[in-house]
């Protein structure tokens, strides 16, 4: 679909090392300018076709002279588009344009005192002496002809350089990192003073534009969306509903593996709150039947995933009308997917901005049955996770949905180790509800999704796990032989690594005593104190 956010004004971040690009793009968007990330091997012609207003070269872990170090198409510097390079971005700019890079005697890691030299529009309004964030071993030893050096540190003689006549700017330090005292001012100067951009990436405008674009695209057609309970599909539903009202039907497949209260909350928010036509399919028995006797986690995942789409498409065909259903056809034309921008970046699908390959690759993941065809709407495919949340809040979704913890698609099925039974599900749901309630009550706001924020780590997920063992206990005068509950709470910023959360002892004690007292069938609570790696966040 033509995105309203494919504007004339767009900053392209060339990514020289996976973890940097997203942070830079987020910072630029925080300054209300739309930004996209592309891999660093993009050619000048491909880049030019994206019509960027400015280009940013990210940092990266390589050494510019290493054999397999990422290069840059030198013609990019001749496009007449302003370029700003950070760290590796400065070094690659230097060597490509005839300067040199060398090993510094000592590396420079962390905060460093910087001194400005001369006038620079990039540093406009910032003091002569300031703190910047460095992370490098190599540094530019001679700037290319035409460049002037605009700052230095004790270790790094060329901490920044520029050739304003060609609108080329670079810093050895990282302005995108919060520890660079005036980093935001520098980005602001680059976007607004040097490139002359306007603040156009604004949530209210974005909603307006998206609503118009969805209306134009859909016309009078009918649209269907699978609500999973997760943030992305919820926000996509609220947005599409804002655009086309009752032309949208949502389907929620209740597989019985969600946390306590979640199916009810979906009904409450979407059907009663928003008034969205919502079809809830109670598939709990169907799933329990399919999962009976299954102990292998991957098989559980596969069954739940494939059955979900089966149930969903049965409904889609039914919604299409009895007549169409008889012919095995589906009259609903559009399927909304809650694909978000990091999904696109990670799948590497949009190197040149071409949408076709993206749609194909995502569509391929959905097992669309024979005779059924959908066109896809992906209204969130330009948004980062925290922008999706902001959009959700602006559309009136409650915090319990907008700030929901990451939750695996197969849900509690992979938190019950071994076979899933009705009894075990009931135990886990009750215990998990206590874990959530007590951690939330102990520290409102404890759970805060940090997304790609650079430094902060906070509690990322907290939940209960039901292992496949029984242990002996004593309750009153009776000996018991019952289930333990494992409590898992981790801090993380991206789920790639995680550390177990140092929850207060009193809180742990309260959770433990409540679970044992209130959940029949449980006589013991253990706390998982393993980090990832070597463990994973989930138990299966």
Q: Catalytic: 87?
A: yes
CB of 329 to ligand XMP, least distance (A): 31
Residue 294 or 495 with smaller CB distance to ligand XMP: 495
Q: Are 17 and 58 in contact (CB under 8 A)?
A: yes
Residues 482-511 that bind ligand XMP (CB under 6 A): 495
Q: Is 306 in the site for ligand XMP (CB under 6 A)?
A: no
CB of 170 to ligand XMP, least distance (A): 36
Enter the DSSP assignment of 159: S
Q: Say which of 36, 40, 136, 174 is annotated catalytic.
A: 174
Q: Catalytic: 176?
A: yes
**Which of 461, 493, 512, 523: binder of ligand XMP (CB under 6 A)?**
461
Q: Is 536 in the site for ligand XMP (CB under 6 A)?
A: yes
CB of 440 to ligand XMP, least distance (A): 18
The pair of structure tokens assigned to 126 is 């910032």
Q: Is 181 in the site for ligand XMP (CB under 6 A)?
A: no
Go through 215-251 and write b for each residue having 16 or more CB atoms within 10 A of its CB, e for each that does not.
Answer: eebbeeebbbbbbbbebbbbbbbbbbbbbbeebbbbb
Q: Is 538 in the site for ligand XMP (CB under 6 A)?
A: yes
Instruction: Give CA–CA dist 511/438, Å, rounded.
Output: 7
Residue 72 or 413 with smaller CB distance to ligand XMP: 413
Q: Write the DSSP string, 465-531.
A: EB-S--EEEEETTEEEEEEEEEEEEEEESSSSSBEE----HHHHHHHHHHHHHHSTTEEEEEE----
Instruction: Give CA–CA dist 84/190, Å, rounded.
Output: 8
Q: Is 532 in the site for ligand XMP (CB under 6 A)?
A: yes
CB of 236 to ligand XMP, least distance (A): 16
Q: Are 511 and 524 in contact (CB under 8 A)?
A: no
Q: Catalytic: 195?
A: no
Q: Which stretch binds ligand XMP (CB under 6 A): 249-257, 402-410, 428-436, 449-457?
A: 402-410
CB atoms within 10 A of CB 106: 9
Residue 33 or 380 with smaller CB distance to ligand XMP: 380
Total number of residues that touch ligand XMP (CB under 6 A)? 11
Q: Is 411 in the site for ligand XMP (CB under 6 A)?
A: no
Which residues share a beta bridge with 484?
A: 524
Q: Which stretch binds ligand XMP (CB under 6 A): 41-49, 158-166, 407-415, 503-511?
A: 407-415
CB of 371 to ligand XMP, least distance (A): 29
Q: Say which of 87, 195, 250, 330 is annotated catalytic.
A: 87
Enter the DSSP assignment of 189: I
The vertex-276 CA angle with 399 and 245, nearest 5°, equals 110
Instruction: Give CA–CA dist 161/345, Å, rounded.
Output: 30
Q: Say which of 176, 262, 315, 540 is annotated catalytic.
A: 176
**Which of 85, 410, 451, 484: binder of ligand XMP (CB under 6 A)?**
410
**Which of 199, 261, 275, 406: binder of ligand XMP (CB under 6 A)?**
406
CB of 418 to ligand XMP, least distance (A): 17
**Which of 353, 369, 398, 409: binder of ligand XMP (CB under 6 A)?**
409
CB of 365 to ligand XMP, least distance (A): 13
Q: Is 296 in the site for ligand XMP (CB under 6 A)?
A: no
Q: Which stretch binds ligand XMP (CB under 6 A): 85-93, 259-267, 408-416, 502-510?
A: 408-416
Q: Write the DSSP string, 47-94.
A: HHHT--SEEEE---SS-TTSTT-----GGGGGSS--EEEETHHHHHHH
CB of 491 to ligand XMP, least distance (A): 12
The pair of structure tokens assigned to 215 is 């209306």
Q: Is 256 in the site for ligand XMP (CB under 6 A)?
A: no
Which residue, among 95, 59, 61, has the nearest Cα to 180 in the 3D structure? Answer: 59
CB atoms within 10 A of CB 188: 17
SS3 assignment, position 122: helix
The pair of structure tokens assigned to 164 is 């304003």
Name the site residues for ligand XMP (rule: CB under 6 A).
301, 406, 408-410, 461, 495, 532, 536-538
Write out the catalytic residue numbers: 87, 174, 176
């Amino acid at each position: 679909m033509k995105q309203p956010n494919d504007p004339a004004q767009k900053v392209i971040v060339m990514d020289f090392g996976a973890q940097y690009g997203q942070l830079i793009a987020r910072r630029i968007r925080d300054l209300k300018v739309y930004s996209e990330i592309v891999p660093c091997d993009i050619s000048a012609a491909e880049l030019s076709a994206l019509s960027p207003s400015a280009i940013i070269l990210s940092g990266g872990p390589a050494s510019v002279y290493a054999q397999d170090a990422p290069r840059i198409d030198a013609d990019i510097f001749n496009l007449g588009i302003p370029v700003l390079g950070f760290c590796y971005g400065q070094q690659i700019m230097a060597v490509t344009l005839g300067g040199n890079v060398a090993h510094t005697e000592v590396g420079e890691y962390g905060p460093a005192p910087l001194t400005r030299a001369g006038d620079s529009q990039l540093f406009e309004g910032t003091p002569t002496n300031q703190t910047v964030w460095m992370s490098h071993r190599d540094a530019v030893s001679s700037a290319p002809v035409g460049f002037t050096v605009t700052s230095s540190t004790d270790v790094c003689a060329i901490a920044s350089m520029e050739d304003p006549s060609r609108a080329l700017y670079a810093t050895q330090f990282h302005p995108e990192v919060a520890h660079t005292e005036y980093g935001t001012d520098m980005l602001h100067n680059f976007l607004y003073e040097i490139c002359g951009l306007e603040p156009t990436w604004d949530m209210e405008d974005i909603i307006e534009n998206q609503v118009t674009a969805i209306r134009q695209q859909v016309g009078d057609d009918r649209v269907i969306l699978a609500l999973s309970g997760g943030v992305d599909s919820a926000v996509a539903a609220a947005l599409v509903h804002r655009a086309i009202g009752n032309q949208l039907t949502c389907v929620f497949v209740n597989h019985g593996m969600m946390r306590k209260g979640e199916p009810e909350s979906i009904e409450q928010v979407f059907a009663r709150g928003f008034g969205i036509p919502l079809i809830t399919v109670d598939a709990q028995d169907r799933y329990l039947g399919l999962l009976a006797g299954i102990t292998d986690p991957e098989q559980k995942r596969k069954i739940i995933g494939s059955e979900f789409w089966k149930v969903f498409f049965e409904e889609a065909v039914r919604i299409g009308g009895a007549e169409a259903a008889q012919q095995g056809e589906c009259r609903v034309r559009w399927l909304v997917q809650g694909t978000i921008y990091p999904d696109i970046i990670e799948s590497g699908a949009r190197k040149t901005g071409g949408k076709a390959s993206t749609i194909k690759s995502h569509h391929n993941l959905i097992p669309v049955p024979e005779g059924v065809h959908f066109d896809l709407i992906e209204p969130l495919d330009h948004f980062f996770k925290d922008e999706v949340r902001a959009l959700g809040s602006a559309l009136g979704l409650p915090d319990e949905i907008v700030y929901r913890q990451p939750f695996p698609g197969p849900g509690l099925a992979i938190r019950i180790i071994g076979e899933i039974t009705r009894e075990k599900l009931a135990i886990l749901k009750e215990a998990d509800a206590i874990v959530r309630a007590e951690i939330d009550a102990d520290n409102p706001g404890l759970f805060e999704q940090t997304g790609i924020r650079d430094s902060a780590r906070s509690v990322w997920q907290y939940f209960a796990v039901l292992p496949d063992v029984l242990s002996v206990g004593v309750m009153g005068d009776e000996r018991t032989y019952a289930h333990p509950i494992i409590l898992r709470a981790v801090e993380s910023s991206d789920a790639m690594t995680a550390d177990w959360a140092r929850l207060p002892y009193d809180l742990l004690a309260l959770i433990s005593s409540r679970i044992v007292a209130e959940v029949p069938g449980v006589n013991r609570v253990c706390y998982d104190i393993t980090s990832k790696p070597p463990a994973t966040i989930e138990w299966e």
